[in-house]
Amino acid sequence: MKAFRIHSYDGPQSLVLDDVPEPERTDDVAVVRVMAIGVNFPDLLATKGQYQVKPEPPYTPGCEVAGVVEWAPEGSGWSPGDRVMAFIWQGAYAEYVGIPLNHLVAIPDAMGFDTAAGLVVNHHTVHYALARRGQVAPGESVLVLGAAGGIGTAAVQVAKGLRARVIAGVASEADIPVAEQAGADDVILLDEGYAQQINDLTDGNGVDVILDPLGDWLFNEGIRALAWEGRILVVGFAAGDIATLRTNRLLLRNVSAVGVAWGATLEKDPGLLSWGAESLHRMYAEGSVNPQIGHRFSFGDLPLALQKLDAHEIRGKAIIDLTGSAGSAP
């Protein structure tokens, strides 16, 4: 089979399309024929050697897939032909992948492969962040930083699905329609001092929850925008630097900074994926959740997709289509 592998930690250009053996058939995995792959920021970090999991090259990166079960062990509950979506730490950038059984979720009948591939990492991460770590309640206010990206649009949708008021923070005027399409109630530009905009929108109260995939200076400005007993959810550091927190600022209004590590939790809680899927599939059926696929690439153009992600040229979610219908890269 064909698979893209990292041969050196030099960025997306280090990916090489190689011939590799198909996954081994063992008692704890199902072999899935990949129909669609989700492109994620950790994949980009992996090509640069900047992700927390750093195997010795060459290896196949990629963590988010949708496809069809080719083979599953007897008694596993899965059968050839089952449509599935899945998370895997690495190995998704391939035509076939072996996936741990507890990392598989059935795709609803009404959902296509591209949508399913766009629903796993971002939506499950933000659902875990907002519903479990942030304990968002109906009627609370949520500020989503970086709301025009893949994780940001997912967070806007999930927060709406949790019946929250959603304020989307974006980098530019061009990003505003993306956040609005995701369902944001209000949109602000993340300029220096954006906490004042939040105070203006909330009658000086601040927001109950901030979902922060950006870090850097935006994190500390976010602390200023929190309401009494507010929570800022640390999802990532896509803006660059990891922020330093002066902890006395947490005392002033009883606010909390909360870490979110969905993938690591999945290893400790095998039921986490099915728990999230139950809620997310309900939100999909209701119409609040639907991955905003802004870009589709063919399998051969996968390195280009990561290059565009690195250049901040991706809005919404980027999908790799292995069904042959993607055409050339946008």
Domains along the sequence of the chain with CATH: 2-119+291-321 (3.90.180.10), 123-263 (3.40.50.720)
Task: Provide the pLDDT confidence category of residue 61 given band limits of 50, 70 and 90.
Answer: very high
The predicted pLDDT at position 328 comes to 40
Res 182: pLDDT: 95
Q: Judge contact between 239 and 216, C-beta under 8 A.
A: yes
Q: Is the pTM of this model over 0.85?
A: yes
Task: Give, in order, the Cα–Cα distances in Å from 53 to each of 2, 67, 201.
Answer: 23, 24, 40
pLDDT digits over 240-268, tens only? 788 888 888 899 899 999 999 998 999 89
| Tens digit of each residue's pLDDT (9 = 90 or more) over 213-246 | 999 999 999 999 999 999 999 998 888 788 888 8
β 64-71/83-87 pair status: antiparallel
Closest to 62 measured CA to CA, from 31, 99, 29: 99
Average pLDDT, the chain: 94
The SS3 call for residue 252 is: helix
Q: Give me 190's structure tokens.
A: 């993340």
